[in-house]
A and B are shown apart, each in its own frame.
Chain A
Amino acid sequence: MQKEAIHVLLADDDVDDRLFFKEAFEEIKIKTNVQIVKDGMELMKELNRPDAKLPHILFLDLNMPRKTGMECLKEIKENDKFNDIAIAIYSTSASEQDIEQTFVNGANVYIKKPNDFGTLKKILTEIITVNWQYHTSGLDRSNFLLSL
């Protein structure tokens, strides 16, 4: 068991997905601290707050109103302050174009939202147990898209 709860932040505009995400972490037996924002604007506001506690892992939906996940990704990667945040793209689409662009822009992993709750739990467990500090050094296009 870890000494400190893993801080997880999700940015997703879909209310159902937010619910599944929250419930999945409740069922996973790992100490986590889940924070959820409703879109890209809110996400950037949250991250840029002076007293913000930065997440270990950010789950980023791509298709969001006001500010898309792609825009957020670019903004985060431009700011050295956020260097330690591991970014997992969390999207319905798995189009080549999206995968390519998020990889180029420095996301750590690409998750296609599963259509099964059990799979979702497995994926999330996988993601938060990876030591991203080590993982990023061996970042590779071929295993960028997470498949279980």
Chain B
Amino acid sequence: MKGTGILNMSFLLKGIFASSVFILIFISIVSYKHATSLTASSDALQHSYNVRNELEQVISFIKDAETGQRGYLLSHDSSMLAPYLNARDKVNKSMYSLSILAKGKPLQEANLDTLYNLITERFAYMNLLLNASGKISMNDELLHRNLMKEQEVMNKIRMRVDNMMSLEQQFLSDRKEQFKNEMSFTPLFTFLLLIFSVMVFIFAYLRLNSQVTVLRNSNEALQLSAEQINHAEHIGAFSTWRWNSKNHEIEYSDNYAALLETGVDRKQIPFRDIIEKVHPDDRAAVIAYNQTPGSRNSAPLLYRIYRSDGDLRYFSSVGKTVHTLNGSAIYLGITSDITEEYKKNLSLQERNLELEQTNKELASFNYVASHDLQEPLRIIQTYISRIQEKEKHNLSESASEYFERIRSSANRMQVLISDLLMFSRTNKAEKVFEPADLNELLAQARQDLSALIEEKKAVIDCDQLPELSVIPYQIKQLFLNLIGNSLKYAREGVSPKIEIRKRALTDEECPQFRRNPRLKYTCISVIDNGLGFEQQFAENIFVLFKRLHQKNEYPGTGIGLSICKKIAEIHSGFIYAEGFTNQGSKFHIILPEASA
């Protein structure tokens, strides 16, 4: 989330920058245009003023000339002629200025031409009068006519000048109109634009401010996480690293120095220093890994390295390609000191080997017991049966009895061997737990014992038993042994009555039996009315080869209940017994409802 926030901000910043630049350029263009327009208007005004000025001067010069001429005509004093003589030049000068000012304005140029002709005409008349001044009198017809003509031309000149002035006025007002048109909307527009840009800047400022908060928070979180990593590295004895793609070297975190116990608080250990400490046999692998950790993605590298105190440590490096936000691939990893685990692992492996060896020996012992021991015994038994059948009549009575004793001992030995074998085969290895109906298993056990049950006229009363996840044949064996036990140790003259009861173990009850307090347990009890036993032997009876009775009184090997105990334990359960001498015994098997 933080990543995308920062990404968003960079987009925002770019947007704000672009719009600001756009707005500034726009404002500049508008202002420039405005200024240009203003200058043009001011120029036009100046121009207009100049034109009027010149025109007025022209009129005034002509008047000066006229005054000079009139004075001379009246006084014939030639000094009066000076203004007239100057006027012609001055008029010409002004006309020249006007012609420059009028350039580019055909209407004014035409007017100016006309004006020039009129002025020339005017001066021609004045000249005419001056030339004739000696010959004409004040009331001369010619004078009068000429003055009239002059008056007429002068009027024309005035008209023309007025015309030109009003034309100039027209130009000026046109120009004003144009300026007004051009500039009328600009101030409003500029103002709006300004408002808009101010808003953009305020918005940008607010966003930036909030992003800065986000950044500061991210930064704090980052610092915290860096601190956590440092801490974790220190406690977990590992160092994180990052592959530098520029110099093709792994850059380790500070803790690498601590792993090597250099005692130097250096930020980085150069690779050439590290490689010197690596065990010579592992150097090539470490160098190869350093150059291209990415190509070995996730395959760990194990190498030995000498710590500063000379201790040889086992380091494991594992790396991974990580894709950054902008899509480029970087290689990150950790290197940890796994010396302790490695050594533990080694000793575990050794122990495993030993155990495997022991198991093999046990298995071969099993085979010896099952086959090699039974075979000679079976041969002995068969020969005895042969003698007892075939040579019966050739034997003395005592010999017959001895053979019977031999047969009995051999049979007992056979039972012992097969029971012992059964005990050693009762284990968890390779046995599969599967859901099984205990009623079914109990029925099978009863079926196997049916002959004995019938012989002893036993009554068996069973509760409905649950379905549990068990090793079926072992549970069947358990029932076989317990019911067999009850039948075997029945009281003389009392027909055996065996009850098989089931109940759920309550939470308060027997917490010592609960291997896992979260599981529910079922208690199955086998209760008989047989010989029973003294309660003090209640634990002894489960010990291998422990018997409470003389072996000639009751058959048995002292293994059956040991097997029961083993089966209960394999099923994460428990078995215990209660004995009541000459009243009966109770065997309780506690099994978890969901076996591990």
Contact = CB atoms under 8 A, between A and B. Distances in A.
Interface residues of A, number: 16
Contacts of A23: 386
B455 interface: no
B385 A116 contact: yes
B377 A115 contact: yes
A93 B370 contact: yes
Nearest to B379: A16
Interface in A92-121: 92-93, 95, 113-118, 120
Interface string B362-398: 0000000011001101110111011001000000000
A93 B370 CA distance: 6
Contact of A116 (B374, B375, B382): B382
Query: Which of A93, A114, A115 has the most chain B CB atoms inside 10 A of its CB?
Result: A115
A116 B377 CA distance: 11
A118 B377 CA distance: 16
B386 A14 contact: no
A117 B411 CA distance: 14
A115 B381 contact: yes
The contact size tier of chain B is 10 to 19
Main secondary structure of the interface of B (DSSP, over half): helix
B414 A115 contact: yes
Contacts of A113: 378
Contact of A92 (B371, B385, B410): B371
The A interface, classified by DSSP as helix, strand, loop or mixed, is loop
A20 B379 CA distance: 9
A32 interface: no
Given A115-B377, A115-B414, A120 B382 contact: yes
A17 B380 CA distance: 11
Interface in B530-550: none
Nearest to A93: B371
Contacts of A125: none
Contacts of B375: 14, 92
Given A92-B375, A115-B414, A16 B370 contact: no
A68 interface: no
A118 B374 contact: no
B127 to A, nearest CB: 154
A116 B375 CA distance: 13
B371 A115 contact: no
A63 B377 contact: no
Contact of A20 (B371, B377, B382): B382
A16 B410 CA distance: 17
B381 A63 contact: no
Given A92-B371, A115-B414, A17 B379 contact: yes
Contacts of A20: 382, 386
Given A115-B414, A117-B389, A95 B370 contact: yes
B414 A117 contact: no
A61 to B, nearest CB: 11
Contacts of B389: 117-118
A113 B385 CA distance: 14
A120 B383 CA distance: 12
Interface in A21-50: 23
Nearest to A16: B379
A145 to B, nearest CB: 14
Contacts of B411: 115
Given A115-B414, A116-B381, A63 B371 contact: yes
B588 to A, nearest CB: 30
A20 B381 CA distance: 12
B371 A118 contact: no
A115 B382 contact: yes
Interface string B118-150: 000000000000000000000000000000000
Contacts of B381: 115-116
A17 B379 CA distance: 8
A116 B385 CA distance: 6
B569 to A, nearest CB: 22
A95 to B, nearest CB: 6
A118 B379 contact: no
A95 B370 CA distance: 8
Nearest to A63: B371
Given A92-B375, A93-B370, 8 more contacts: A16-B379, A16-B382, A16-B383, A63-B371, A92-B374, A114-B382, A115-B411, A117-B385
Interface of B: 370-371, 374-375, 377-379, 381-383, 385-386, 389, 410-411, 414
6 contacts: A23-B386, A93-B374, A95-B370, A114-B382, A115-B378, A117-B389
By Cβ-Cβ distance, the 7 closest A-B pairs, closest first, are: A115-B381, A117-B385, A115-B378, A116-B385, A16-B379, A92-B375, A93-B371
